[in-house]
Amino acid sequence: MPTKLTTEIITAAILGFEEQKRHIDTKIAELRAMLSGSPAESAARPEGTPRKHKISAAARRRMAIAQRKRWAKIRGESEPPAPAKAPKAKRRISEEGMKRIIAATKKRWRLQKAAAKAPAKKAVTKKTAVKKAAVKVAPTKAAKKAAPVKKAAVKKAAVKAAPAAAQAVTEPAAQ
């Protein structure tokens, strides 16, 4: 059965043959170079590739300047910007200013410590009142120890009993 030739198959065949032709041309160029004694690369250079040449430093500099000029024109700049001025020296705080800051900081710490101590004293007095009431209620607590009870329940009972004991102490004094 004959195969149907599509454009893809034909294009692939052309590319393959061109590659074989290039390979054959390079081999022929190498053989001719052996006969004549000239370098093989000059004869084997493909037609589409450009010759490479070195550009001088001065030419590269001129090209760079021209490119910068084109970019400046696109951005709308008239001339390249002048070099930036040197930054100002870093400012330092005076000794007097530093002493003021230190004094203010110490004052703030002193006030914070005093504020922290004031609630702590109030809390301490409350705790001692509860402890005193608990001491007076101790005999009832001992009676409760006989029956096994959870610690949390005992603490709640002691706290509830403490205000009652305090009332009992204040009532006889009022009579």
State the Cα–Cα distance between residues 157 and 137, nearest whole angstrom.
10
Pair 162, 137: CB distance under 8 Å: yes
**Can you tell me which residue has the tokens 């009992």?**
168
| Structural domain range at position 14 | 7-44
Predicted confidence band at 24 (pLDDT cuts at 50, 70, 90)?
very high
Mean pLDDT of the chain: 75
Comparison of pLDDT for 104 and 139, the residue scoring more: 104
On whether residue 40 sits in a domain, the answer given is yes
Question: Taking the C-alpha atoms of 97, 103, 108 and 110 in order, what is their torsion angle to the nearest 10 degrees?
Answer: 170
Both 101 and 40 in a single domain? no
Pair 75, 67: CB distance under 8 Å: no
Instruction: Measure the CA angle with vertex 56, ends 50 and 59; round to 5°.
Output: 95
How many structural domains comprise the chain? 2
Residue type, 57: A
> pTM of the full predicted structure?
0.23
Both 106 and 170 in a single domain? yes
**pLDDT tens digit sequence for 125-155:** 555 555 555 555 555 555 555 555 555 555 6
Instruction: Measure the CA angle with vertex 49, ends 10 and 31; round to 5°.
Output: 85
On whether residue 24 sits in a domain, the answer given is yes
**pLDDT tens digit sequence for 35-50:** 887 665 554 566 666 7
On whether residue 118 sits in a domain, the answer given is yes
